[in-house]
Amino acid sequence: MLLHAFPLDSTTFDRVLPHLAAAVRVVRVDLPGLGRSVDQAVGEPSVEAMARAVLRALDDAGVERAAVHGVSTGGYVALALADLAPERVTALLLSSTTPWVGAPDLPADRLAVAGELERRGDTEPVADAVEGGLGETARADQPDLVRLVAGIVRAADPHGVAWVARALAARADTSAVLAGFAGPVLLLYGEEDTEVPAGTVEQMAALRPASLVTTVEVLPRTGHLLALERPAEAARAMLDLVVGA
């Protein structure tokens, strides 16, 4: 199961999908409020509500148990899913994310963004997702990705994006979930990621008991959206854990 970043959608996995699908069945979903799931942004905004939507997607796909790959906000949802239904998650593959509440998802900042999105009626308040999402190398060497991410942001529904921003403002610390998850965990990060505070991956790995499988990999010359920037390398890291587990 592939869970994407905010304020993007599941098309950011288009480049990595062929590398994964040759070895495993892949399910991907647009998180509530984003992409084609904008109409699922109903009720009180919460990351748990997003995780419940992912469970429904697994049910609809006839998938009882899955390895869950979450990028950034998708990582928050993956951890919420592991808390809500650990029996459905065989492995956690976490990229460019953190279990702690902090920058860039400070509650006050996300609430301010939500209000601005609703006031303006467009997605300009989250246009910085292009620069923050792509590493310096990708922005220089793969200008098509800059256009792709910018296009996804422009096409997003501002009210759906605002709902997700409010969900992020309300999210809880999930460090205990990461520490206690019994299955294998991959922490996959980009060397050029400016969105995740320095030292996060090491701090996350330190939460895990030595008796549990925890793999850490940092991809060189790569930013926040690893599977988009370097799909072959990201897929190889994921499959090493999932197929080898």
Give the domain CATH number at 44. Answer: 3.40.50.1820
Give the rounded percent of residues in the chain with a pLDDT score beyond 70. Answer: 99
**For residue 34, is pLDDT > 60?**
yes
Asked if residues 190 and 218 have their Cβ atoms less than 8 Å apart, the reply is yes
Q: Is the pTM of this model over 0.95?
A: yes
**For residue 245, is pLDDT > 80?**
no
The tokens describing 65, both together, are 């148990």
Is 67 strand, coil or helix? strand
**What is the number of domains present in the chain?**
1
Q: Look at residue 200 in the predicted model and tell me its pLDDT.
A: 94
* C-alpha–C-alpha distance, residues 223 and 205, integer Å: 19
> pLDDT tens, 195-240?
998 899 999 999 999 999 999 999 999 999 999 999 999 999 999 9
* C-alpha–C-alpha distance, residues 178 and 175, integer Å: 5
Q: What's the pLDDT band for 244 if we cut at 50, 70, 90?
A: low
Asked if residues 155 and 100 have their Cβ atoms less than 8 Å apart, the reply is no
The tokens describing 70, both together, are 């979450």
> pLDDT tens, 82-127?
999 999 999 999 999 999 998 878 999 999 999 999 999 999 999 9
Q: Look at residue 185 in the predicted model and tell me its pLDDT.
A: 98
- Domain range holding 115? 2-242
Q: Report the pLDDT averaged over residues 120-148.
A: 96
Is 69 strand, coil or helix? strand
Question: In 84-225, which ranges are E strands?
Answer: 89-95, 185-190, 214-219
Q: Report the pLDDT averaged over residues 58-70.
A: 97
- DSSP 8-state code for residue 99: S
Asked if residues 197 and 96 have their Cβ atoms less than 8 Å apart, the reply is no
Q: How many CA atoms lie within 13 A of 15 on its CB side?
A: 16
* C-alpha–C-alpha distance, residues 188 and 192, integer Å: 12
* C-alpha–C-alpha distance, residues 170 and 129, integer Å: 20
